[in-house]
Amino acid sequence: MGFNDFMKNLSGNRFTGLQGGRHDMAFMRSLQRDLKTKQTTSIPLNELQVIVFDLETTGFHPDKGDQILSIGAVKVTGRHVEDEYYSPVRFTDEIPPLVKDLTGLDESELMSAPEPADVLEQFFKFSGASPLVAHHASHEKAFMTHASRKYFRTPFSHRLIDTSFMYRIAEPDNPHVRLEDCCEHNQIAVTGRHHALGDARLTAALWAVYVEKLQKMGITTLSQVYERLATIR
C-alpha cells in the first residue's frame, strides 16, 4: 500500500462510542486487568495493533489546571487503518486566544461537547488494551495520567510509544522535531495540523513509515526497539 492509499484510509469509519451517562467502572476495572496481562513486545510491528492519538489542550500543565479540549485517535495495524475516533471535550471557560487560533476550536462547540469523563471512557473503549502511540508523548502522558486519576481513580497504565523512539533508531542524525517537519522529511503531505484527529492521522502515517524502516534494519518487535534504544541513549 502506498502513502496515498494509507492517507485515504484515514478518512474511513469513525468510532462514536458512548453518548454520555454513568461511567462503566466494571469496564475500567476489566481494562486495568487486561493492561496488566497483555503482551505486546514480541508481536511483529507490522502485526501490532496500536492506537495513534493526539490531544488538544488549554496549555501544558494539567496539575496547574490546564484541561483537555479534544481527543483524536487512529487505530492502525501496520499500514492498515481500522478505525478513527474524535471528540471535543466539554469546557465552559474562555479558550485561551492562542489555542483558539491554533486549533480552530470555539466555545460553542466545547460548551455542547460531552463531559471529560465520558470522552475519556469512550476513548478507552476505542483503544482497549492496545499500545498507544503519540508524537513526543510526554504531553499526552501528563494529561492522561492526570485525567485517569481524577475521573476514574485509576493509574494510566497503557503502554505509550513515542514516535521519537522510532526515528532516533532509524535516523539518529535526523534533526527534525516538529510533527510537520518529520512528515515533510518523509514526503507525507501535512493537512489538518493542530486538530486532534488531523494530528493523529499525520502521526499514524509517520508510524507506518518508521515501522517499515525499522523492519528493513531487522528491528521487527517492540522488544527490539527498546533494546536498541538502550544502546543509543
Residues 116-149 have pLDDT tens digits of 999 999 999 999 999 999 999 999 999 999 999 9
Please provide the distance, in angstroms rounded to a whole number, between the alpha carbons at the two ends of the chain: 33
High-pLDDT (> 90) share of the chain, %: 80
Question: What pLDDT, on a 0 to 100 scale, did the predictor assign at position 10?
Answer: 55
For the chain, the domains span: 3-232
Torsion from C-alpha of 143, 146, 147, 153, nearest 10 degrees: 160
CATH 3.40.50.1100 fits 3-232, yes or no: no
pLDDT of 8 > 80? The answer is: no
Distance set, CA 167 to CA 57, 162, 174 (Å):
26, 10, 8
87 in Cβ contact with 170 (< 8 Å): no
> pLDDT tens across 91-117, in order?
999 999 999 999 999 999 999 999 999
Mean pLDDT of 36-49: 93
**CA–CA separation, 183 vs 10, rounded Å?**
15
Backbone angles phi, psi at 42, to 5 degrees: -100, -5
Question: What pLDDT, on a 0 to 100 scale, did the predictor assign at position 233?
Answer: 67
User: Which residue has better confidence, 175 or 68?
Assistant: 68
Question: What pLDDT, on a 0 to 100 scale, did the predictor assign at position 28?
Answer: 85
Question: What pLDDT, on a 0 to 100 scale, did the predictor assign at position 79?
Answer: 85
The residue behind cell 516538529 is: 178
**Helix (H/G/I), strand (E/B), else coil: 197:** helix
User: Which residue has better confidence, 125 or 10?
Assistant: 125
Question: What pLDDT, on a 0 to 100 scale, did the predictor assign at position 212?
Answer: 96
Mean pLDDT of 184-195: 94
75 in Cβ contact with 83 (< 8 Å): yes
